Amino acid sequence: MGVVAGRTAAILLAAGLLAPVLSLAVTAAQGNGENWPHLFAYVLPQAVWDTVLLLTGVGVVVVAVGVGTAWLVTAFDFPGRRWLDAALILPLAIPTYVVAYAYLDLLHPLGPIQGGLRTLLGVTRPRDLAFPELRSLPGCMLLLGLVLYPYVYLPTRALFLMQARSMIEAARTLGAPPARVFFRVVVPIARPAIALGASLALMEALNDVGAAEFLGVRTLTVQVYATWVNRSDLPGAAQIALAMLTGVIALLALERAGRAMRGHAGSGQRSPPMSRTRLQGGKAFGAMALGWLPVLFGFALPAGYLAEAAIRRVLASGLPPTLGREIAQTMLFAGGATLVTAVLGVFIAANPGRWLSRIAGIGYALPGTILAIGLMPPLALIDSASAHLLEATIGATAGLFGVGTAAALVAAYVIRFLTIATGATEAGFGRIPPSLTDAARMLGSGRIGALVRVQLPLAWPAILSGGLLVFVDCVKELPATLLLRPLNVETLSTHLYGEAARGTYEDGAVAALLIVLVALLPVLLLLRTSGDVARRPMAAIGHDAPDARDVMS
């Protein structure tokens, strides 16, 4: 009876996870096409072009910075290398829309950077010393790349440490110059990790709505949001979202193609650490400068500005009056979603077979905007069914149970980030010797008893780490929160979005700083357990745990 109940629950969970994708197609088919002439003529061509260019530019930046910094800290030794190795992860703590928000004020013609340079150079008029316009496609490429490069840095660094020594030192022995070693040996070795990291970074860039809108780039994601919210055309937004899914599938195909080239990376066994070349003098200084630049522009400058602006705002006007309520609502939504994902992650990890885990990975591949649109029809169906049921049974009129409720937002968080909790729990279970579970079963414990008494206590640190990552991702998530939050309810991320949209940057600094401080928690965890951390992106796209350990441990 218990097995049947477990299988039924698994099937229902799988149906719930797949519902947004299926309903997206149904919603798109309901469109009457009235807006398509306008979309095809004035909206979609530019949106597609901007999206392709943005993803291309971001891909170039994250690969160049991620691979370059990974090679720098694994192949060379110089003063401060250990600190740099850890600090290169820090940009993960700042959401893309927060970085865009910070730099819009930092690089404003009347902002601190240009103002300081004019004072230093004795220039009086702003137009006599003008920086390139940040509100542009190149500006968006650069800012997103500086935040997302750790997605490439982490797996590439791990792969260098695991597999690079024998082939690289053989090339050095044969007299190959450093440049040839890098491009003929290092890059092919790193190809699987580059494909993995780049695909994840590009999916994050595609999911972004805040930074692109702040910087004036009308990507497909921004157009989906505008079509739904501004034109009240949900079918039209679903049709554009389906087109975006094509891009997501292409990114996943790129990543899998890169993994298919694993033969370039050796046997997959961990080799002894690669001997590092000691740099001295000018070369050491140059390596330090190049290595710290991404940390400076991707984390230190925006985080420092947010801290200074928040302090200035509090000293001048006190804390925003709504801040306490927004913090409470953010913690409530994120905490509820974290609890649900932790429970479901344990259920999926304990369920025999990998099919349910793979289905759970689909949500992470869906940008938040697409997920929100896909959830609307099932939520509306729940509202309709509950209203008819209550009216038929007790004659009462029901309120909303789905659309525009906290439950809808929590459901979106759970679907999008469930694979993180599942991957962490599976990693924890994978470290438990099977003999312990078998011994518990032989002593009379059933499957649930062995899970509660043996597996959960031993895997608790991994489950807690996965829950922490889920919690922070929920706090940072902007597109789904904007579209599904209850009416007149603000979170820290939506508050910041509203202030930036109005141009009142100083009023959003406190919320932005709080988001960064919360996001620092998993980054500190990454600094301590950088090998385990990398399982998160692998799990996010549904790979088997052994594959994750092969490439990322």
9 part of a folded domain: no
* Number of domain units in the chain: 2
For residue 507, give every residue at least 6 positions away whose Cβ sits within 8 Å of its Cβ, in sequence order, or none: 313, 320, 499
Q: Are residues 297 and 329 in the same domain?
A: no
Token pair in block for residue 496:
């910041």
Q: Tell me the residue type at 32.
A: N
- Helices marked H in 30-111: 36-38, 44-75, 81-87, 96-106
State residue 462 phi and psi, 5-degree precision: -65, -40
Q: Are residues 252 and 183 in the same domain?
A: yes
Encode pLDDT of 284-323 as tens digits: 899 899 999 999 999 999 999 889 888 888 888 888 888 8
Q: What pLDDT score does 330 carry?
A: 92
Q: Are residues 434 and 363 in the same domain?
A: yes
Proportion of the chain above pLDDT 90, given as a percent: 14
Q: What pLDDT score does 59 carry?
A: 93
Is residue 380 predicted with pLDDT exceeding 80? Answer: no
Tokens 């157009």 correspond to: 223
Q: Are residues 328 and 379 in the same domain?
A: yes
Per DSSP, the three-state class of 208 is coil
Q: Are residues 367 and 503 in the same domain?
A: yes
Q: Are residues 393 and 492 in the same domain?
A: yes
Q: Are residues 405 and 300 in the same domain?
A: no
Q: Are residues 365 and 490 in the same domain?
A: yes
375 part of a folded domain: yes
CA distance 44 to 219: 9
CA distance 94 to 84: 18
18 part of a folded domain: no
For residue 341, give every residue at least 6 positions away whose Cβ sits within 8 Å of its Cβ, in sequence order, or none: 413, 414, 417, 418, 420, 421, 467, 470
- What band does 265 get if pLDDT is binned at 50, 70 and 90? very low
Q: Are residues 357 and 347 in the same domain?
A: yes
Per DSSP, the three-state class of 503 is coil
Q: What is the DSSP string of 260-274?
A: TTGGGGTTSPPPPPP
Quick one: residue 546, left, alpha or beta (phi over 0 = left, psi -120 to 50 = alpha)? alpha
Q: Are residues 221 and 361 in the same domain?
A: no
295 part of a folded domain: yes
Q: Which whole number is the average pLDDT over 235-257?
A: 75
Q: Which whole number is the average pLDDT over 526-534?
A: 52
Q: What pLDDT score does 369 carry?
A: 82
10 part of a folded domain: no
Give me the domain span that covers residue 488. Answer: 319-553
* Full-model pTM: 0.80
- Helices marked H in 394-431: 406-430
532 part of a folded domain: yes
Q: Are residues 326 and 295 in the same domain?
A: no
Q: What pLDDT score does 264 carry?
A: 44
Of residues 542 and 148, the one with the higher pLDDT is 148
Token pair in block for residue 89:
């992860």
- What band does 422 get if pLDDT is binned at 50, 70 and 90? confident
Of residues 61 and 41, the one with the higher pLDDT is 61
CATH number at residue 328: 1.10.3720.10
Q: Are residues 353 and 256 in the same domain?
A: no
> What are the C-alpha distances in Å from 27 to residues 83, 127, 173, 235, 379?
51, 50, 61, 5, 13
